[in-house]
Amino acid sequence: MNTLFGMSHSATLLVWTLIAIAFLIVFISKFKWNPFVTLLLASILLGLLTGMKSTDVVTSITKGLGGTLGTIAIVIGLGTMLGKMMAESGGAERIATTLIDLFGDRKVHWAMLLVGVLVGIPVFFEVGVILLIPIVFVVVAKTKKPLLQVGISVLAGLSVVHGLVPPHPAPMIAIDAYGANLGQTIVYSLLIGIPVAIVAGPLFGKYIGKRIDVHPDPKLVEQFASKNERKLPGFGITLLTILMPVILMLIGSIASIIDPDAKYGFTVFCEFIGHEVVALLISVVFSFFSLGFARGFSKDEVSKFASDSLAPIAGIVLIIGGGGSFKQVLIDSGVGQAIADMATNANINVILFAWLVAALIRVATGSATVAMTTSAGIVAPVLAMTPGANLELVVLATGAGSLILSHVNDAGFWMVKEFFNMSVPQTLKSWTVMETILSVLGLVLILAVSMFV
């Protein structure tokens, strides 16, 4: 069926897309279906509704899943291993205690923002929360600061890195879809992400901490406090291990800028070690020694840490793959091009468009990952028809949009609520507002930067 009720072909495609997205939203949010299964069903539904042959729909789904996971699956696996080594060695605790000693009790919330950013680089948001909650409780107990003043600062650091800074999967998905430069995206993400995190973290945290008085569950505090004391690794080696992926990727980008034609072998080498996969692989192997063998762990223990870290991420990998399938069907069915034509004719700012699409899907599904993968397929064709657009800033706009308005359909919302022992209204006033500040202020700064680059 090419047209619907006399509508144009493009309008008909848009209607089918809205139906498929509505199906996706309802089944994930209301009926609590598994997002991976729902994404595959939505992909099939969209393909058939738009007139694709059934065999072509299956081909699109497998192509999209494989193409999306080609790099992302490796990045997720290696990043998780690096996070596991940091957790088991006590590296996260070392960074926290060192920065707290450096900043002092009065400015401890600023230290905790840095902790969230640094720890958040190699780990998923959820892993970072679990990793740092015990440290938050210890800091609150020692400094007598309000729990939310310290906690919101940590959460802001973790969240801004998760949504904006490569090699996290969210920005990496958009980088691959838009063909953006990895190194430039890292530079812009730090330029924009740090001020945004400061406002949403220490500044907002201090404000809301005075107005919402909450205390952690004593049983939870006791559980964390009962862990055996262990000698922590050095601050310098821990920091080097965590930041190594970003350092290597920046080296590769700087070399390609200095020598764009790669005339010298050294440039080729720098670009090789700066590729996200190679950079993370080098960092993980380095962590086996710096945070593993050097800490007295045996070969069997280090191997077990690496293996154990992979099982929990299977669902995340599949959801990302399912989002890639949906994205590919959007492209192959002609929906992406139809949306691109309509957006071009309407002269919509592509940065604002990317943010808005990701934000709407995020609010509806509760998943930043689904928002990123789905919106990438919608935004990419629009971007292709927008010559001169800054690809890296569009990546960040998509990431910022995927952070907005976390509420009751987001697993992260409930994780924060339970760990901080808050009611639903208190979580909405603190965590949800913080996420929205990150998203909206991020968009404002991205638009501001776009005026000069």
Summarised one tens digit per residue, pLDDT across range 314-327 is 777 887 788 778 87
pLDDT at 409: 61
pLDDT at 172: 83
Annotated domain spans of the chain: 9-450
**99 or 41: whose pLDDT is higher?**
41
pLDDT at 219: 65
Summarised one tens digit per residue, pLDDT across range 240-261 is 887 888 788 878 878 877 877 7
**15 or 196: whose pLDDT is higher?**
196
Q: What mean pLDDT is predicted for residues 77-99? A: 79
Phi-psi region for residue 53, left (φ > 0), alpha (ψ -120 to 50) or beta?
Answer: beta
**148 or 370: whose pLDDT is higher?**
148
Q: What mean pLDDT is predicted for residues 424-428? A: 85
Q: What mean pLDDT is predicted for residues 89-96? A: 77
Residue 133 has pLDDT above 60, yes or no: yes
Summarised one tens digit per residue, pLDDT across range 371-388 is 887 788 888 888 888 888
Question: Which percentage of the chain shows pLDDT scores above 70?
Answer: 89
pLDDT bracket for residue 130 (50, 70, 90): low
Question: Which percentage of the chain shows pLDDT scores above 90?
Answer: 23
CA atoms of 129 and 141, how far apart (whole Å): 18
DSSP letter string, 38-88: HHHHHHHHHHHHTT--HHHHHHHHHHHHHHHHHHHHHHHHHHHHHHHHHHH
pTM: 0.71
Average pLDDT, the chain: 83
Summarised one tens digit per residue, pLDDT across range 275-286 is 878 988 999 999
pLDDT at 226: 42
pLDDT at 227: 47
pLDDT at 228: 46
Please, are residues 68 and 173 in contact by the beta-carbon 8 Å criterion?
yes
pLDDT bracket for residue 366 (50, 70, 90): low
CA atoms of 179 and 88, how far apart (whole Å): 36
pLDDT at 344: 61
Q: What mean pLDDT is predicted for residues 93-117? A: 82
Please, are residues 157 and 115 in contact by the beta-carbon 8 Å criterion?
yes
Sign of the dihedral through C-alpha 445, 252, 313, 240: negative
Amino acid sitting at position 103: F
Residue 355 has pLDDT above 50, yes or no: yes
Residue 131 has pLDDT above 70, yes or no: no
